[in-house]
């Protein structure tokens, strides 16, 4: 069945049409989900240009693999997995090029976070949602890629430990460790970041 | 002092990733340990803050048309490329692609085997000189006093180089 009004069609209808080669349907899917896909790439890479490139690459890949999409999840979720995998590949390539730093060596063992006293302040107290978001975003920007990835996948993509381990190619123990230190570091950063610094 | 193993267990408890039995163990331990309670509260606050705030809304810094045009161009390019690079293989092409390299390797192995056998044969002949020629003749003379053996080699067809020693001997006797 041919789609007459692409903007009024559901994602499922657009995916079906795109599978039959309807580029206009695919363009509509890109328009609907582009911000979300770009945002995920940006949250992992923290670099605008890289995020744009990787999100575009994800769309090209999804067009090529569209026939493999059987609708087990929503199209948006499927697309997000593609961009996450591309970001992880890019981060792995970058890590291979990078010389081993003290920070990197401390990623699993916790480094400074291991010695940090427990933070008793609740970072959500007395803050509006917008302010809190900015604070969280600024704190996320200060984490290492490994810690941020673990946190983003667990907290924003609702992935379980074993799923994170599978997509990142790490052991469950490593994932748990990274997530633990990422949370501990976030607690300190959220407590220390003053609202004025975010403006 | 909490061990790292227990810290991770505490976190797994918070995330609902512990089996019921272990979760009950953690709860029992938490009831008695203030340090553990404080750490759990910190982890919980961070998790709550992240889920309450959600992510900052990030917008793609490009227009819909420009962004799509780049994607469409790349799809078009990649759609053209595989057709040129990897055409559908015919049966003959498949045989060529998969069996030709195998037969090449087999041929090379045969050649090496032949060379090996040949080299073994030729090495066994070192140190021995065989005069197989029908045109070559030889005479041996043994002097017991000097303890010396002399061997004459001569060309049967060339009478000018050597004189037949038997003839010489017979001449001496005469």
Among candidates B42, B54, B62 on the partner chain, residue whose Cβ is nearest the Cβ of A133: B54
Residue B32: predicted pLDDT: 94
Q: Does domain A6-95 have CATH number 3.30.2010.10?
A: no
Q: Which two tokens stand for residue A191?
A: 């407590």
The whole-angstrom separation of Cα B153 and Cα B162 is 9
Residue A127: predicted pLDDT: 79
Quick: pLDDT tens for A143-161: 999 999 999 999 999 999 9
Mean pLDDT of chain A: 89
Quick: pLDDT tens for B11-67: 999 999 999 999 999 999 999 999 999 999 999 999 999 998 888 889 999 999 999
Bigger pLDDT: A190 vs B159: A190
**ipTM, two decimals:** 0.83
Residue ranges of the domains in chain A?
6-95, 100-198
B10: closest chain A residue by CA: A180
Residue A162: predicted pLDDT: 97
In words, the CATH class of domain A100-198 is mainly alpha
Mean pLDDT of chain B: 77
pTM for the full model? Answer: 0.69
Among candidates A23, A60, A136 on the partner chain, residue whose Cβ is nearest the Cβ of B74: A60
Residue A167 burial (10 A CB sphere; 0-12, 13-18, 19+): middle
Residue B2: predicted pLDDT: 86
Bigger pLDDT: B121 vs B172: B121
Quick: pLDDT tens for B2-25: 899 999 999 999 999 999 999 999
Residue A107 burial (10 A CB sphere; 0-12, 13-18, 19+): buried
CB contact under 8 A, B46 and A120: no
Do B60 and A34 contact (CB within 8 A), yes or no?
yes
For residue B142, pLDDT over 80 is answered with no
In sequence order, the 6+-apart residues with CB closer than 8 A to the CB of B114 are none
CB contact under 8 A, B64 and A179: no
């Amino acid at each position: 069945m041919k789609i007459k009004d692409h903007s009024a069609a559901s994602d499922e209808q657009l995916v079906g049409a795109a599978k039959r080669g309807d580029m206009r349907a695919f363009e509509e899917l890109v328009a609907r989900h582009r911000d979300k896909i770009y945002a995920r790439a940006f949250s992992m890479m923290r670099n605008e240009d890289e995020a744009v490139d990787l999100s575009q690459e994800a769309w090209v890949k999804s067009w090529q693999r569209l026939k493999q999409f059987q609708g087990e999840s929503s199209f948006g979720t499927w697309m997000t997995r593609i961009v996450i995998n591309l970001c992880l590949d890019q981060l792995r390539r970058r890590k291979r090029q990078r010389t081993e730093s003290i920070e990197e060596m401390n990623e699993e063992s916790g480094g400074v976070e291991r010695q940090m006293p427990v933070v008793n302040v609740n970072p959500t107290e007395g803050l509006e949602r917008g302010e809190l978001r900015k604070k969280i975003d600024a704190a996320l920007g200060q984490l290492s890629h490994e810690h941020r990835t673990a946190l983003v996948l667990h907290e924003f993509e609702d992935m379980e430990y074993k799923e994170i381990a599978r997509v990142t190619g790490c052991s469950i123990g490593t994932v748990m460790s990274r997530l633990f230190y990422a949370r501990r570091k976030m607690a300190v950063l959220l407590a220390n970041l003053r609202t004025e610094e975010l403006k | 002092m909490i061990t790292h193993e227990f810290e991770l267990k505490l976190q797994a408890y918070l995330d609902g990733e512990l089996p019921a039995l272990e979760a009950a163990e953690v709860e029992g331990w938490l009831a008695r340990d203030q340090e553990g309670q404080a750490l759990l509260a910190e982890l919980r606050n961070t998790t709550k803050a992240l889920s309450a705030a959600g992510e900052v809304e990030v917008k793609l810094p490009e227009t819909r048309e420009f962004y799509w045009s780049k994607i469409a161009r790349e799809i078009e390019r990649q759609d053209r490329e595989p057709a040129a690079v990897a055409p559908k293989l015919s049966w003959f092409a498949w045989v060529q692609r998969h069996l030709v390299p195998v037969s090449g390797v087999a041929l090379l192995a045969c050649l090496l085997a032949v060379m090996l056998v040949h080299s073994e044969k030729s090495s066994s002949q070192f140190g021995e000189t065989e005069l197989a020629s029908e045109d070559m003749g030889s005479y041996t003379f043994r002097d017991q006093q000097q303890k010396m053996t002399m061997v004459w080699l001569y060309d049967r067809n060339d009478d000018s180089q050597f004189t037949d020693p038997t003839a010489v001997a017979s001449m001496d006797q005469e």
